[in-house]
Amino acid sequence: MNSGSTSANSPREDSGSSAGLQNIPVLFVDCQGDGSRLVEIAWRCCGPGPDQPARRFLVAGDGRLSAVFSGMTGIRDGDMASAVPREEVSETFLEDCAEVGAVVAHTLRYEARLLGSLPRVGPALEAGRRFCTAEIARRLLPGLSGFGLRAVAGYLGFPLGELRSALSHVEATAMIWRTLTCGMPSLEALQEILDSRPPEAGERLDRLPEGWRERLPGGPGVYRLQDCAGRDLYVGKASSLRRRVPQHFQGCNWRSKDGMTSSICRIETTPCETALEAALLEAGLIESLRPPCNRALASAPPEVVWLSRDLGGTSPVRTAETPLGPHAIQGPMRDLSLLSSAISSGSGAELTASCRWLAAFEPAEMDEALGLLSTRYPGSGSPRALLEVAARIQPPGPSEEADALQALLWILVSAGAAGRRARWFRLLACSEVSWREGSRRRVLPVCTGTVTCARWECGDGSPCDSPSEPAGRSGCGPGLCRGASGIDAAGFRRLSILSSGIGEMLRRGMDMRVVPASTALPLHRAALAKIYERLRIGEAQQSSSSESSPSPGPPRGSASSSMSSPSSSCQDQASSGPENPSSEEALSPSSRSPSSSSSS
């Protein structure tokens, strides 16, 4: 076969037939690329006769696949051992193109760019008839919330799986084509539609049944937005389900969720007694279901570790050798350890290399700042001594230009905040959290970071009802609590959400009470307010690890907003425990120094 002379629309004489588009042979194609590199291609020829078997190839290329691409497609470097040379893929593709009247892809511009990397395919595509189902959908279904393949296919009843697969995308593209061109007399008639200007967004299209808004509960709870296959697209929480859920279908929210709003077929709700319990349930469902449209909590929580006093040793549980924690990531504590080493050696080379946001400073400037810090805090070359400094230091005041010394001070502030949060989480891990709502009190027993057997209490302290068991949790009672040392990554995230909820209710002036099991002494609203005041100190510096902002000094963001953000939990903690009295005192309501804090 002389593939160089092949055209992508060889049977053009038949393409304008009045028999309708369903009788015109079409090649549906989809490509998956890692950047500009074509990695996977699949296509299928369909026409008036029996559909041909789909073809799918991995395309040989140089270099390793990126982690992002492998995560989206499931294709790993080891799979590329079966990859086919580009020339062979090109020959086969051009042979099939010679038998059809048109080539169809959902995002034609993207597919054409990747197909153009195959020998002789680019000119063949340019010479033939090509159609883009996304542009067809823009003109025929302008009311959709999005025009990506998943959004259009989902609305038409063909939901796609989580992984991006060229083969499943080909099937979805074929289904979209057949549905949207049904009754279209010819390719010329379709081309006239595509040559016209896309209409303005019309009436919004969705698949939800009539009266769904009226059936929503009015109280707090969790909702799941599902497609026609029952797959959860998005999980959310609300203090009022009836107010919150319709917001996804209003204003700019209509085109959020990757444009998948139009493909939502049903809404499942789980009423909760309180908004805080809804937030905890939401986090657990997102972690287990991994809905594709959730972002903030969809990633797996970081591993929880405990650190040694010199910050060099780690352990998944608290031991005598590793008493500092719990830690979700080691950024602030690692930075503090590097700072201690830099002070001891008098050179900031290693510190600057590890903390990219310090790279803006000249080596001499950094060495001078290390000397000033050592003079201000004698003995700070020791990690333990530096931990005590971090526990009591206040954030540096604003300056016109952030200098190296101020950047180093923010490392201390960040570590101090992390340490105070660690102390608070240890108290909260086994405790009883309660607050008053009307004439009743809601009580949440916390066992190793998990809420168990929540209940309502009447004004006299007697139970108003039977304890409610949170979903997925069995067994109640203080004897099951293993304390903070038993906290796993999911428990750490729950503690963060619980702590954020307590802070929010304190700001609203609610009557809060926390009774840590370790002390059995109740912390009432005034004492909790002082604790959270100290927890806010230095919160804005949470991202000062080496993966954070490239600019020196405190990152943007307010402390108050950081306290109520669940993502702020995924942070390292620092000095705490009997080995560091300053940190222990930092969370005591009677402490004289207000400098201790930790974010929640």
Of all residues in the chain, what percent carry a pLDDT higher than 70? 81
CB atoms within 10 A of CB 264: 25
- Tens of pLDDT, residue by residue over 56-78, are 999 999 999 999 999 899 999 99
Q: Are 298 and 282 in contact (CB under 8 A)?
A: no
Rounded to whole angstroms, the Cα distance separating 55 from 175 reads 17
- Please report where in the chains the tokens 């029952």 appear, as a residue: 230
93-97, 268-272, 465-469, 578-582: which range is least confident on average?
Answer: 578-582
Q: Are 152 and 227 in contact (CB under 8 A)?
A: no
162 half-sphere exposure, CB direction, 13 A CA radius: 13
The contacts of residue 249 (CB under 8 Å, 6+ apart) are: 204, 206, 261
Amino acid at 474: S
**Residue scoring higher pLDDT (311 or 329):** 311
Phi, psi for residue 278 in degrees, rounded to 5: -65, -40
Of all residues in the chain, what percent carry a pLDDT higher than 90? 46
pLDDT number for residue 131: 96
Q: Which residues of 570-582 are buried (b: 16+ CB within 10 A; e: fewer)?
A: bbbbbbbbeebeb
61-70, 162-171, 267-276, 301-310: which range is least confident on average?
Answer: 301-310
DSSP calls for 253-276: GGG-GGGTGGG--EEEEEE-SSHH
Q: Are 382 and 341 in contact (CB under 8 A)?
A: no
pLDDT number for residue 596: 33
Rounded to whole angstroms, the Cα distance separating 111 from 31 reads 6
CB atoms within 10 A of CB 108: 19
Strand partners, 457: 441, 463
- Please report where in the chains the tokens 């709700």 appear, as a residue: 269
424-438, 520-534, 549-563: which range is least confident on average?
Answer: 549-563
The per-residue pLDDT of the chain, averaged, comes to 81
> Where does the pLDDT of residue 257 fall: very low under 50, low under 70, confident under 90, or very high at 90 and above?
confident
pLDDT number for residue 20: 67
Phi, psi for residue 3 in degrees, rounded to 5: -65, -20
With a cut of 70, say whether residue 273 has pLDDT above it.
yes
Q: Are 89 and 59 in contact (CB under 8 A)?
A: yes
Strand pairing of 305-307 and 314-315?
antiparallel
Amino acid at 542: Q
DSSP state of 541: G
With DSSP H G I counted as helix, E B as strand and the rest as coil, what are the percentages for the chain, rounded to 5? 40, 15, 45
Mean pLDDT: which of 47-56, 225-234, 380-389, 479-488 is highest? 225-234
With a cut of 60, say whether residue 160 has pLDDT above it.
yes
Rounded to whole angstroms, the Cα distance separating 78 from 462 reads 62
Strand pairing of 221-226 and 266-271?
antiparallel
DSSP calls for 414-478: HHHHHHHHHHHHHHHHSEEEEEEETTEEEEEEEETTEE-SBEEE-TTS-BSSPPBPPTT----SG
DSSP state of 119: T
Phi, psi for residue 110 in degrees, rounded to 5: -70, -45
> Where does the pLDDT of residue 314 fall: very low under 50, low under 70, confident under 90, or very high at 90 and above?
confident
DSSP state of 477: S
- Tens of pLDDT, residue by residue over 197-243, are 988 877 888 899 999 999 999 999 999 999 999 999 999 999 999 99
With a cut of 90, say whether residue 582 has pLDDT above it.
no
> Where does the pLDDT of residue 528 fall: very low under 50, low under 70, confident under 90, or very high at 90 and above?
very high
pLDDT number for residue 219: 95
Phi, psi for residue 195 in degrees, rounded to 5: -75, -15
Phi, psi for residue 209 in degrees, rounded to 5: -70, 160
